[in-house]
Structure 1
């Protein structure tokens, strides 16, 4: 009877001497340092991904204030998302070289500085908002996001997906706090400038804590194993089909409700006071979506779990065609928050599932995130263009649902079969 291949090997076998080096240098599972890194990562995701997930507040504000059209405003958020994800390529390479602390510190400084600069921008000045919020905050957050996620692999192995899932729930909690904070401040005597500054001070405190708590491998710490080569990664068929092509299609459609649900609610004649809380409900529901699927993924396989969650997410977007009441919006926000939360939280574990050893975690995630970033850049503006000035919601809804389902059936399922065959197990 053939024995399954080791989980950390692909088509080649690690030599006994290399394995000994890896085992001798591996950090124990868990411990105070590992849990502090999880806590710091949670705070980092709260301040970055949580804020970015709240862009629907700004989308609604800028469109209704006459800053620009839905299409043009969405470019601010999508550019921010693009830098947020694309910066994973240089950040991943620097992480593998031991520059973890440097990345988090520099990223925090750029991010907080840009947020304060946003508070000085005029609401009707598109280019000021674009530079500070779209470019500056995107670059700063991008230098933080991938290292904060990938560094968990330095401390965890058997419970890696769960640890990453706990970290990414920080974005859900941030997605609860920031929309409530911003909506209430923007629509009070405080106004835009001081509303943004208040959120900037909260962000500064969270990132200061993250810098103090997280730790990665020291600079120059090597396992003795050969480093990942870009050519080998790009010619790895299961990796390119699953995390790259499948992830690209999922990213193209998954953020549509995060950008447009508050505007959707307002333009359907529902109470504006209720619309303020749609993103909060959605992000609140994603807390469970970013933990339960990750817990199941450690048992039943990451690819198996994300396939189910992705299919449910795509099917739910179609449901927006029939929503015209407060109850319908609430039900959608809860269900979509849970399912899309699973898709977003399982993205990094999915990419990590294809690594050979921790020495290439940064490069693998960096390549996948960089290629996926163009979907984040294009997705919201395409939805805005399809929506148009006449607010024809049916077109962006169908587009987003179709691309989400397209990432599941022909792509993730094929990658799952190839990876399962290579690993010799059904749980991938």
Structure 2
């Protein structure tokens, strides 16, 4: 990933100054290695700054995607109490629009990242998210528009300035171990998906739910402050008189392997996140006690902790495609297994397994997009385009599933939403198989010594 800038070629020049050479050596590179690179100095695959950035990104993921993963608690609370005058589909629009806002500005955010505004975005995003969380705690019962503005719009926009930049920055520090480093970083989202639901449920039981939101907002503020101090960008070496790289949008759009993978991600986002929104409500509807059902979302996210680590470790050895395709296929099969859930042990087993395999996809997709990027100076833009398109399906996916839940007799028709979840995820798996074929055919992987 790059904020712009290119290395000098052996035929046309030298580095601008001796100080740039010294920077490169300090980062673990050599001057001879720069002659064939385009973009930033080669990633050092380790070092203090690299692992501090991973730790800082972990905290950002914990506070952004991790908090969004706890929306199942809000879905259940709003449906049964705070917004009981609204349908489940209406309420799910809050969570889906929050995810949409987190992903949709990706093109703009990615371009700003490539231009070097990483720290600016992370700082502004931190302030906006914390402010919106406190505003959410001040909303009034039954006032849908207040909750929508604070949670869907405010928090979603703040998270958009945090989520994509924090994922993209890993590529500046890692190459050969990029998938593993990304997996470690995004595992913060899974841990957040465990901690936040338990905190919200427990605090909501012992006190006013608004106080639980304020407690989580205070914790978020502290973690994001630390994260802002920990994440690091890396300096770039560029030939004298060279201009910052401008993304070639025509080349990006004409990259068929990339466009097919983005289309696949669109299908996947339509269905994959259904359990994260509705599993707690599903458990309550099946007669499981509320005290146990409250742990459904936390169990789901606990499974994704290892799901975001183990497959990423093997992805560095066998390639992201070879890991992401079976993960999606298994997630699809597990989605249909929801038909057999009737008690809390069933919820537990499903949650752990589905969390593991679906979490693998979420952590592997950034590494896959990075591998598809031919010029690392465009990594932010490419991820931004992909995330923006996926954001549209995240916006409409769970509300569609919520609308499908309604039966004529007033009960929940779960089978329709479950089928949509499984089918869309499988369509995404098939699309990734096609994308892999196109990537290999154009010479990807073998040409650059990479596994696919």
Moved more, 14-23 or 358-367: 14-23
Residue of structure 2 equivalent to 1:264 = 282
| Among candidates 413, 418, 425, match of residue 438 of structure 2 | 418
1:424–1:141 CA distance, 2 compared to 1 (3 A)? closer
State whether structure 2 residue 421 is matched by structure 1 residue 400: yes
Q: Distance in 2 between matches of 1:370 and 1:222?
A: 30
State whether structure 2 residue 200 is matched by structure 1 residue 182: yes
Residue of structure 1 equivalent to 2:222 = 205
CA contact (8 A) 1:48 1:145 kept: yes
Residue of structure 2 equivalent to 1:8 = none
CA contact (8 A) 1:420 1:427 kept: no
State whether structure 2 residue 252 is matched by structure 1 residue 233: yes
Q: Deviations over 1:217-252 (max 9, x none)?
A: 45x87586853211211111000001x111111111
Q: Deviations over 1:52-93 (max 9, x none)?
A: 000000000000011511000000000000011112221110
When Rg is computed on C-alpha atoms for both structures, the one with the higher figure is: 2
| Among candidates 6, 14, 20, match of residue 35 of structure 2 | 20
Shift of 1:390: 2.4
Deviation above 4 Å: which 4+ runs of structure 1?
14-19, 220-226
Shift of 1:357: 3.2
Moved more, 253-262 or 208-217: 208-217
Gaps (5+ residues) in structure 1? 1-13
| Among candidates 210, 221, 230, match of residue 193 of structure 1 | 210
1:292–1:27 CA distance, 2 compared to 1 (3 A)? closer
CA contact (8 A) 2:41 2:237 kept: no
CA contact (8 A) 1:249 1:407 kept: yes
1:38-49 equivalences under 5 Å are 38-49=54-65
CA contact (8 A) 1:154 1:358 kept: no
| Among candidates 363, 368, 375, match of residue 381 of structure 2 | 363
1:270–1:29 CA distance, 2 compared to 1 (3 A)? same
Q: Distance in 2 between matches of 1:169 and 1:403?
A: 24
1:133-148 equivalences under 5 Å are 133-148=151-166
1:287–1:371 CA distance, 2 compared to 1 (3 A)? same
Shift of 1:165: 0.5
CA contact (8 A) 1:39 1:213 kept: yes
Residue of structure 1 equivalent to 2:182 = 164
1:12-411 equivalences under 5 Å are 20=35, 22=37, 25-65=41-81, 66-188=84-206, 190-217=207-234, 226-242=245-261, 244-388=262-406, 389-409=410-430, 411=431
CA contact (8 A) 2:43 2:175 kept: no
Residue of structure 2 equivalent to 1:7 = none
Q: SS in structure 1 opposite 2:342?
A: coil
Shift of 1:156: 0.5
Q: Distance in 2 between matches of 1:21 and 1:336?
A: 43
CA contact (8 A) 1:265 1:329 kept: yes
TM-score by length of 1: 0.93
Q: Distance in 1 between matches of 2:111 and 2:95?
A: 26
Gaps (5+ residues) in structure 2? 1-7, 13-33
RMSD: 1.8
Q: Distance in 1 between matches of 2:11 and 2:371?
A: 24
Q: Deviations over 1:137-164 (max 9, x none)?
A: 0000011001000001001010011111
CA contact (8 A) 1:100 1:215 kept: no
1:322–1:240 CA distance, 2 compared to 1 (3 A)? same
Residue of structure 2 equivalent to 1:11 = none
Q: Distance in 2 between matches of 1:373 and 1:133?
A: 16
1:330–1:27 CA distance, 2 compared to 1 (3 A)? closer
Q: Deviations over 1:384-425 (max 9, x none)?
A: 00001521000000011001001112x111111111222253
